[in-house]
Structure 1
């Protein structure tokens, strides 16, 4: 299926500066994310959440799924679950970083849930990421990925699971070959693209790949 964007309730920068939305993409607003969408004249396909952070009337012309405030899942997690269940191949959380640290971490956990679900159900080739004006975060599990960039651009690799086994990179300034990364030591911070494309693979584990601007 097409790409799904989940507009979160905290965004560093503007939506349109962070991502490129096409008419074929599916857009979900997580609760207060609808405020940012309306500011940039973006019409979502779905509004979802408990709407404790969005103040104002909800539009009747947009499909809306409302949940109680007291629940186990965050609004963003509910959106991720919805996108996964609908079979989208590429899910991107817009914003979701900065502000409250607990919200940032919970969004990373939502991404982790998605790739664990796909892995358990042998669904290959699906992607999930989180993006704002300063950072683009990807999470892969037992997989490899080719990433486009620019020479000198920073890229960091961090183990999100306890260990990441046999991490290998190509076309990065500091190469890794069958390396062990642990979640208790930041070995992979601030590597750099050597060319316009790099490859990163991890044989076992969940690997965070972060492209960040100073």
Structure 2
């Protein structure tokens, strides 16, 4: 099972949603205005979460008429609509979870959406990604990982998350590394590229945010 959560980020950053609709086992979920974004794309989400304060009265009426299973919350609460939807999705134990429409716009929401990835580290059987038209963002615990060239995202960056990363080794990259340390705030591993079809990255401690991107 795969879950796609769509929030109401800037339209120019939201990927073509129909290109993300591959397979019969996909569950679409709307978050607030993202629910209307899905309906406009011709996709009928199975669930929707939010206070729906970012849609017009006409858009809200369209959402209500659609027959989607709505989970409506008050505007004043301790969690964002995205966090509520994310935690629900993780409880479903999907093989893959994509967060779309989660970047751009308000920086506080964008940063929180990226930090939600931290809650997925213990779910090793679920691949969680934040995806927009220019980036694919994932979070990783220590280990060894294989990476394949992706023409959609030719640049690969590694960013220390929360603390120093030790023993980082990059093989098959334009700028390889061997047992290096990556500090918080360091640009050491920004804008790298694979020179071979496949490569590997590994590290001994810390947490890494990997950003695959394009201009």
Name 1:189's counterpart in structure 2.
Answer: 190
Q: TM-score, normalised by structure 1?
A: 0.87
1:30-60 Cα offsets, whole Å, 9 max, x none, are 1110121111101111101121113322246
1:50-101 Cα offsets, whole Å, 9 max, x none, are 2111332224622111121111111111111011111123211012112222
Q: Structure 1 residue 21: deviation in Å?
A: 3.6
Q: Structure 1 residue 114: deviation in Å?
A: 2.5
Name 1:107's counterpart in structure 2.
Answer: 113
For 1:201 and 1:126, how far apart are their aligned partners in 2?
Answer: 19
For 2:203 and 2:81, how far apart are their aligned partners in 1?
Answer: 30
SS of structure 2 residue aligned to 1:210: strand
Q: TM-score, normalised by structure 2?
A: 0.87
- In structure 2, the CA distance between the partners of 1:29 and 1:189, relative to structure 1 (3 Å rule), is same
For 1:51 and 1:144, how far apart are their aligned partners in 2?
Answer: 42
Q: Structure 1 residue 150: deviation in Å?
A: 4.3
Name 1:207's counterpart in structure 2.
Answer: 208
Name 2:5's counterpart in structure 1.
Answer: 6
Moved more, 164-173 or 196-205: 196-205
Give structure 1 stretches of 5+ with no counterpart: none
1:10-37 Cα offsets, whole Å, 9 max, x none, are 0414433763443211111111101211
List aligned pairs for 1:77-156, cutoff 5 A.
77-115=83-121, 118=122, 123-150=123-150, 153-156=154-157
SS of structure 1 residue aligned to 2:178: coil
**What is the count of residue pairs matched by the alignment?**
207
For 1:20 and 1:147, how far apart are their aligned partners in 2?
Answer: 23
Moved more, 27-36 or 160-169: 160-169
Moved more, 149-158 or 134-143: 149-158
Contact 2:34 2:101 in 1 (8 A): no
Name 1:160's counterpart in structure 2.
Answer: 161
- In structure 2, the CA distance between the partners of 1:201 and 1:41, relative to structure 1 (3 Å rule), is same
1:63 and 2:69 aligned: yes
SS of structure 1 residue aligned to 2:103: coil
